[in-house]
Each structure stands twice: as C-alpha cells, then as structure tokens.
Amino acid sequence: MKSRHILRDNILFGLGFALMIAALYMVFVYVPTEKETGIVQRIFYFHVPVAWVCFLAFFITFIFSILYLWKRATKWDAIAHASAEVGIIFATLVLITGPIWAKPVWGIWWTWDARLTTSLVLWLIYVAYLLVRSFATEPERGARFGAVVGIVGFIDVPVVFLTVNLWRTQHPTTMIFEGGLATPMLMTLLVCIIAFTVLYVLLTVQSANLKSMETEIKRLKSAQAEQEDIDLWRT
Amino acid sequence: MLTELRTKEVVISVLVFALLVVVIFNFAFSTRADETELVAPGILWTALTFGGVLGFNRIFAVEKENSRLEGLMLCPVDRAVVYWGKLVGSFTFILAVAVVITPVFLVLFNLPLFLPKLALIIVLAIIGFTAVGTLFSAVAINTRARDIMLPILFLPVAVPVIVAAVKATALVLAGRPWGDMSIWLQIMIAFDIIYLVVATLVFEFVVEE
Amino acid sequence: MENLGYLLAAYTIIWAVVFGYVLFMQRKQRRLQRQINLLKESMQKQNSPTLPNP
C-alpha cells in the first residue's frame, strides 16, 4: 500500500507546498492593503478558502457515505470518515478566524446571521457524526450510522442556511459584505482556494490511509485470534 | 401491557418536565407584560423541543428493553413500514404532550386560548421533529452513550423547524393573518417532506442487523 | 499597522492547528505501522511453530 502511491503522494505534497508558499507571498506581499478595514482584512484570504474547503469536505463525506451504504467498501467509508475529520478541523478554524476578523472590523465577536449560524450548526452536525462513530458498539455499526448521519446532516445544511437567512432579514443587520473584488484580490483569493483544496486532499488521503491501517490491524487481530482457536483445537 | 404502562409513565414525566421548563424560563426572563410576547414563543418551543427529545429517548429505550425491535425485524416487513409505525407512535406521543402543555402555557402567559393557527404550526413542527427524531433514536439507542447521543444528533438538524415554529408562533400571538406566516409554514412543510422521504429511505440501513 | 495582533493571531492559529494535525497523524502512522509489523511477525511464528519436544 505504501510503495504504490509514493510518487503520487510526493507530487501532491510538492504541489501543495509550492502553492502554500505562493499563497503566502500573494497574501502578504503582492496584494495591496484594503482601504477601509486595513491590514486585518488579509485574514479574508485564508478564512474564505478554509470555509470553502470545509464545505467541500462535508460534501465528500456525503457522497462517500452514500457510496458506502451502496457498495459497503471499507475504503470508501475510510474516505468519508477522514473527510469529516478534516472538515471539522477546518470548520473549527472558520469559527475561530471569523470572530478574530470580525472583532476589529465590526466591533463584535459574533452575530447570529445566516452564514455564521449555519457554520456553527454545521460544526455541531459533524461533531455529532464523529461522536456517533466513536460511541458505536462495533466498527461496522459506526460506519453505517456515520453514513446515515453524514447524509441526513448534509441535506440539512441548505435548509438551515435558508431558514436562518429568512429569520435574519426580518432584523436588518449592519454587516454588509461588499461584493466585487479588485483583480489582485480575486487572484490572491483564487490561489489561496486552490492551495487549501490541495491541502485538504493531502490531509484527507493521509487520514483515510490511517483509518484503513486501523481496519487492517483489526482484521489481523481477529485473524490471529481465529488462528489461535484453530491451534488450540488441534492440540 | 407493561409497555403501555411504561409509555404512560413517560408521557406523564415528559409533561411534568415540559411544564417545569415553562416555569423556570419564566423566572429566567423578565415578566413585564409588554415583554412576555417576545419571549413566550421561545419558551413554548423550548419546552416542547426538550420534552420531545427526552420523550423519544425514553420511548425507544422502553421498546428496546422489551426487545420489540428484534421481534419486528424478524417479520418479513418492509423496513419503511417499521419506520412509519414508529413515526406514528412518536407523533401521537408528542402531540399528546403538546395538547396538554399548550393550553397551560397560554393560560400562564394570559394569551387567548382558541388559536387554530397555532394548532397547525404545532402539528407541522411535530411532524418534522418525529421524522428526524425517530430515525436518530434508532441510531442513538444502539450507541454506548444513548441518552446524550440523541439530543446531540437531533437538535442541530432540527434547527430550521424550531426557528420556523418560533417565528410563526410569535406571529400568531401577535394576531397576524395567514399571509404573514405562510413562508414559515412553507419552510416547515418543506422540511417535513424532505425528512420524511430521506428518513424512510435511510431507515433500513440503521436497523439492518 | 493597527490590528496587526489580530492578523497574527488568525494566521498563527491556522498554521498551529494544521501542523498539529499533521504531527498527530505522523505519530499515529508510526504507532499503527509498528502494530502491523508486530502482528505480522507473531502470525508468522504461529504458522510455523517450533516443534514440541518429543
């Protein structure tokens, strides 16, 4: 399992590293400081890609949950699980960097608008996903239950967003996200999005490998136990 | 027979719990007459939500102890039918709780008692609760932390229903016409349909053994 | 250069968390690989046991 993918892994790692360096350069050297909010605005260039990757991660979990329930290939469950794990990490980062950006710019840490609230609910749903898996009585059940939560939870996300959006438009907010980005800003954002997507792939592949290793260990252990039983029976 | 008795126990204890929630929240928030309308809908739905979650857990725990689920699984019955059977059972249960709690709540807050719009909101919301709750109860019961697992699974997913129910209830209590709250009713109906369909499809994966 | 502290905090946290996760996975990989090797060794010993004394 290790030697087959070493070339692919190395290419991916090299690409990711190069992209991150490029992203850092663009964020801190290339792109001009935004006029209104100043230097803090640069958080935006990592905050948005992290949020995007988080959503991508949960989408992958959704797809592979369906695939797992259909075909029952443990490799697919490993990907679904790994993606949710990486997704939660990125979701946590979104919920931390968001308020850090908001405090100097808007003066408050938090507001219950559609995006923030949906991010929080999303975080809670996938924490539930990971908890269900860890509290399951057997690994197979954990995979199955996880898949169910991964599917049901993902479907909930747009519903939550639309509902909270509607709820909030009744209370006019002062937080208006200015649309329209100047070209250098757009370029920087794009590079960062690509860099973080590659990072996501790297982390998820690695995490999925680890989960497959754990499954392999369990298989070996039970095969060993069987062998011991056979030996005992023979003697 | 024993199950029915235990179910009645659950209904009564959930009723008492929901009532306590209403009372405690009343102390938690200011009760000046002009402000009660702001907090009243939230209090009602907090009581129904948490009472409902508690109730789901107890009901399925009772069933599991009596191994009714295994017995049902032996019958050559489509899993979806099992789901809908449980669904109707849970729905009836929470409806019973709501039917008792709501008039008490309205009285405690000096609100008008005859509110057919509120009845519709409650029914729609409970459909949504039970659609999701029945599915997640079957999952939670089979984990090692069954009591805490259900709220953790259920509450985030139920957010749209809770938001819509509270908003719609607030509009009803303010005496607004159907048109104003139609969007919230639409959200609840959409949620109900989506989750009834998804849960029906997915339930078999939860109970296959 | 105002609010530099916030900018620094945000980026530091991102890098700390991501690197922390990478380190965590590396350590786990080493541990799991060791377990797999041990299990494979012991299974080989099982399949070709030493002959008992006559």
Q: Does C47 touch chain A if contact means CB atoms closer than 8 Å?
A: yes
Q: Which residue has the higher pLDDT, A158 or A223?
A: A158
Cα distances from B154 to residues A133, A152, A156, B130, B162, in angstroms, run 15, 11, 11, 10, 11
- Using the structure block, give the residue that is written with the tokens 């953790």: B152
Q: Mind telling me how many Å the CA of B81 is from chain A's nearest CA?
A: 18
Whether A113 contacts A155, CB under 8 Å = no
Question: Which chain C residue is nearest to residue A98, measuring alpha carbons?
Answer: C10
The pLDDT assigned to A128 comes to 94
Q: How confident is the model at residue C1 (pLDDT cuts 50, 70, 90)?
A: low
Phi-psi region of B177 (alpha: psi -120 to 50; beta: other; left: phi over 0): beta
Q: Which residues of C touch A86 (CB under 8 A)?
A: 21
Q: What is the pLDDT of residues B11-21, one digit of tens each?
A: 888 889 999 98
Question: Which chain C residue is nearest to residue A228, measuring alpha carbons?
Answer: C46
Q: What is the pLDDT of residues A205-217, one digit of tens each?
A: 999 999 999 888 8
Q: Mean of the per-residue pLDDT values for chain B?
A: 85
Whether A64 contacts C31, CB under 8 Å = no
Partners of B143 in the β-ladder: A136
Examine the pLDDT at A1 and tell me if it is beyond 50: no
Query: CB–CB of C42 and A224 under 8 A?
Result: yes
Residue A1: inside a domain:
no
Domain that holds residue C2: 1-43
Q: How confident is the model at residue A178 (pLDDT cuts 50, 70, 90)?
A: low
Q: Which residues of B touch A163 (CB under 8 A)?
A: 159-160, 163-164, 187
Q: What is the pLDDT of residues B32-68, one digit of tens each?
A: 666 777 788 999 999 999 998 988 887 777 776 665 5
Q: Does C7 touch chain A if contact means CB atoms closer than 8 Å?
A: yes
| CB nearest A213 (choices: C1, C36, C49) | C36
Examine the pLDDT at A170 and tell me if it is beyond 70: no
The pLDDT assigned to A171 comes to 52
Examine the pLDDT at B111 and tell me if it is beyond 60: yes
Residue C49: inside a domain:
no
Q: Which residues of A touch B163 (CB under 8 A)?
A: 163-164, 167
Alpha-carbon distance of C24 to C18, in angstroms, equals 10
- Using the structure block, give the residue that is written with the tokens 């129910």: B165
Number of domains in chain A: 1
The phi, psi pair for B146, rounded to 5°, reads -60, -35
- What ipTM was estimated for this complex? 0.86
Counting residues of chain A whose pLDDT is more than 90, the rounded percentage is: 42
Query: CB–CB of A46 and C42 under 8 A?
Result: no
Partners of A69 in the β-ladder: none
C42: nearest Cα among A217, A2, A213: A217
A144: nearest Cα among A209, A54, A80: A80
Cα distances from A43 to residues A37, A39, A58, B18, B139, in angstroms, run 11, 8, 23, 45, 40
Alpha-carbon distance of C42 to A224, in angstroms, equals 8
3-state secondary structure of A34: strand
Q: How confident is the model at residue B107 (pLDDT cuts 50, 70, 90)?
A: confident
Q: What is the pLDDT of residues B139-166, one digit of tens each?
A: 998 888 888 899 999 999 999 999 999 9
The pLDDT assigned to A172 comes to 47
Cα distances from A61 to residues A57, A130, A146, A154, B160, in angstroms, run 6, 12, 10, 9, 22
Examine the pLDDT at A34 and tell me if it is beyond 90: no
Examine the pLDDT at A147 and tell me if it is beyond 80: yes
Q: Where are the alpha helices (DSSP H) in A31-182?
A: 44-71, 74-106, 114-135, 139-169
Structure tokens at A137: 């009585």
Number of domains in chain C: 1
Domain that holds residue A129: 6-234
Encode A79-108 in three state secondary structure.
HHHHHHHHHHHHHHHHHHHHHHHHHHHHCC
Q: Which residues of A touch B162 (CB under 8 A)?
A: none
Q: What is the pLDDT of residues A89-132, one digit of tens each?
A: 999 999 999 999 888 888 888 888 888 889 999 999 999 999 99
Counting residues of chain C whose pLDDT is more than 90, the rounded percentage is: 35
Q: Which residues of A touch B135 (CB under 8 A)?
A: 148, 152
Q: Mean of the per-residue pLDDT values for chain A?
A: 86
Number of domains in chain B: 1
Give the CA angle between residues A97, A98, A99 to the nearest 5°.
95
Residue A133: inside a domain:
yes
Q: Which residue has the higher pLDDT, A78 or C49?
A: A78
Return the sign of the alpha-carbon dihedral for residues A138, A139, A144, A146: positive
Among the listed ranges A54-58, A117-121, A139-143, C45-49, which one has the minimum average pLDDT value?
A: C45-49
Q: How confident is the model at residue C52 (pLDDT cuts 50, 70, 90)?
A: low
The pLDDT assigned to B70 comes to 59
The pLDDT assigned to A65 comes to 95
The pLDDT assigned to B133 comes to 92
Residue C51: inside a domain:
no
Return the sign of the alpha-carbon dihedral for residues A181, A185, A187, A192: negative
Q: How confident is the model at residue A174 (pLDDT cuts 50, 70, 90)?
A: very low
List subunits contacting chain A, requiring 3 or more Cβ pairs under 8 Å: B, C
The pLDDT assigned to C50 comes to 59
Q: What is the mean pLDDT of residues B189-197?
A: 94
Domain that holds residue B64: 2-207
Encode B185-206 in three state secondary structure.
HHHHHHHHHHHHHHHHHHHHHH
B→A interface, C-beta within 8 Å: 132, 135, 139-140, 142-145, 149, 152-153, 155-157, 159-160, 163-164, 167, 183, 187, 190-191, 194-195, 198-199, 202, 205-206, 208
Whether A106 contacts C6, CB under 8 Å = no
Q: What is the mean pLDDT of residues C28-36?
A: 91
